[in-house]
């Protein structure tokens, strides 16, 4: 493009822009565009991109690959749900500590982070129908004498701060027990177990099993305990965001019904799910 044509183009664009501004002045203020999104064009407003908060240090559910991309079971579930719901999503690595506040503050539209649905959390946020069954699992060194959860009563136990693992150990030892070592992430707690700083780690079974399988050098074994309650993961939205919640629930029901969920589950866990959260809402809500 020659400079004359360029200038001509810029001038025309300027006139066009002035016209748009004048037109806009006569009407109501257009809504402010979402952060990162460009101003909506007159004809087709840019689709909303839903920001999904996830603590991506939780393989195989959410982690970062070598390229820094956020990947995992939870991620693929939400991608599939979004596709069914016809919404656009963007995953944002968000530390577990404070992750729930990002919803309340409107910095994230939804969270997927292997979040256990609990009565307490339900008071401050809303959850989708469950999408995954889980329970706590104990990790200890292979040569440990620890045989059951009650054995941890007076021992040093590593947990991820503010998780359901933290809650169960707090119940056993008292929440102010100096023997509860709270870490920012579950892998950090497991590293401390390897270093000998704690006697055991209590965390979600899927993450512990994955870690033990992928860090055979750590020489860990796992111990399950019948005292651990059944847990279910849900997608979280800001309290009262019924519009988004309905989209997510519909998307979840669709991917459970058409086999997409089972495909993702099998990819990550080697076999199709047997548990209730994999079933469409009617069964899961019983």
Interface contacts to ligand ARG, rule CB under 6 A: 55, 58, 62, 96, 113-116, 160, 163-164, 204
Query: Which of residues 87 and 189 has its CB atom nearest to ligand ARG in the complex?
Result: 189
Q: Kindly compute the dihedral angle of the four CA atoms of residues 69, 72, 78, 84, in this order, to the nearest 10 degrees.
A: 100
| Integer Cα distance of 251 and 258 in angstroms | 11
Least CB distance to ligand ARG at residue 22 (A)? 50
Q: What are phi and psi of 57, to 5 degrees?
A: -130, 55
Q: For residues 237 and 243, give the distance between their C-alpha atoms in angstroms, rounded to a whole number.
A: 10
Token output for 93: 């690595």
Strands 49-54 vs 88-93: parallel, antiparallel or unpaired: parallel
84 versus 234: smaller Cβ distance to ligand ARG: 234
Which CB sits closer to ligand ARG, 55 or 76?
A: 55
Q: Which is nearer to ligand ARG, 113 or 241 (CB)?
A: 113
Residues 52 and 234: their CA atoms lie apart, in Å, by: 13
Query: Which of 152, 280, 156 lies closest to 228 in space, CA to CA?
Result: 152
Supply the minimum distance, in Å, between the C-beta of residue 129 and ligand ARG.
16
DSSP letter assigned to residue 116 = B
Q: How far is the CB of 112 from ligand ARG (least distance, A)?
A: 9
Report, in Å, the least distance between residue 263 CB and ligand ARG. 22
Q: 55 vs 199, which CB is nearer to ligand ARG?
A: 55
Structure tokens at 63: 């982690």
Alpha carbon distances (Å) from 65 to 38, 70, 76: 29, 7, 14
Nearer to ligand ARG, 163 or 241 (CB): 163
Bridge partners of 183, per DSSP, are: 160
To the nearest whole angstrom, how small is the minimum distance from the Cβ of residue 61 to ligand ARG?
6
282: Cα separation from own chain's centroid:
24
Q: How near is the Cβ of 116 to ligand ARG at its closest, in Å?
A: 4
């Amino acid at each position: 493009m020659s400079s004359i044509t360029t200038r001509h183009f810029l001038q025309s664009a300027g006139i066009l822009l002035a016209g748009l501004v004048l037109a806009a002045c006569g009407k109501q203020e257009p809504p402010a565009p979402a952060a990162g999104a460009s101003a909506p064009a007159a004809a087709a407003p840019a689709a909303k991109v839903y920001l999904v908060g996830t603590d991506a240090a939780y393989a195989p559910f959410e982690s970062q690959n070598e390229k820094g991309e956020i990947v995992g079971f939870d991620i693929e579930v939400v991608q599939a749900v979004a596709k069914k719901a016809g919404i656009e999503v963007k995953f944002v690595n968000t530390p577990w500590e404070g992750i729930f506040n990002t919803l309340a503050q409107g910095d994230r539209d939804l969270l997927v982070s292997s979040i256990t649905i609990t009565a307490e959390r339900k008071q401050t946020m809303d959850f989708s129908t469950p999408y995954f069954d889980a329970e706590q699992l104990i990790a200890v060194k292979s040569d440990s004498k620890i045989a059951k959860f009650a054995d941890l009563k007076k021992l040093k136990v590593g947990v991820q701060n503010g998780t359901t693992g933290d809650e169960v150990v707090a119940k056993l030892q008292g929440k102010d027990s100096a023997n509860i070592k709270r870490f920012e992430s579950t892998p950090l707690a497991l590293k401390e177990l390897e270093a000998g700083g704690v006697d055991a780690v209590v965390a979600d079974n899927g993450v512990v099993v994955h870690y033990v399988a992928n860090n055979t050098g750590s020489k860990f074994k796992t111990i399950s305990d019948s005292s651990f309650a059944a847990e279910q993961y849900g997608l979280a939205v800001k309290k009262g965001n019924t519009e988004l919640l309905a989209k997510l629930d519909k998307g979840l029901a669709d991917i459970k019904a058409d086999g997409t969920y089972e495909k993702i589950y099998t990819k990550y866990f080697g076999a199709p799910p047997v548990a209730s959260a994999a079933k469409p809402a009617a069964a899961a809500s019983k």
